């Protein structure tokens, strides 16, 4: 059975080294996920990852924890 994939945005604080971000991307790809966009205004990226790897990515480096949010459409009524 294929793993359930989640569309997510993964972000890190500006102080996180690029190597921490790269390790997170590599873990996602190794688990069968994919990176769909790399952001330039924030230190982060969006992608699809199995739910099973989410906790692993969050806990990769205690000094620079990842924030993982489900990617979704946001609408505003005015």
pLDDT digits (tens, 9 = 90+) for 51-62: 989 989 988 888
Distance CA 39, CA 16 (A): 14
Does the residue 74 lie in any domain?
Answer: no
Does the residue 72 lie in any domain?
Answer: no
- Judge whether 44 and 9 are in contact, CB under 8 Å: yes
Question: Residue 46 sits in which domain range?
Answer: 13-66
Does the residue 39 lie in any domain?
Answer: yes
Q: Is 1's pLDDT higher than 70?
A: no
Does the residue 8 lie in any domain?
Answer: no
How many separate domains does the chain show? Answer: 1
Does the residue 78 lie in any domain?
Answer: no
Does the residue 20 lie in any domain?
Answer: yes
Domain CATH number, residue 42: 3.30.70.80
Does the residue 3 lie in any domain?
Answer: no
Name the pTM for this structure.
0.85
């Amino acid at each position: 059975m294929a793993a359930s994939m989640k569309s997510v945005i993964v972000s890190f604080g500006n102080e996180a080294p690029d190597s921490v971000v790269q390790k997170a991307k590599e873990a996602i790809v190794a688990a069968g996920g994919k990176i769909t966009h790399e952001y330039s205004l924030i230190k982060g990226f969006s992608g699809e990852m199995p739910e099973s790897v989410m906790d692993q990515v969050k806990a990769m480096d205690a000094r620079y924890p990842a924030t993982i949010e489900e990617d979704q459409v946001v609408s505003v009524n005015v």
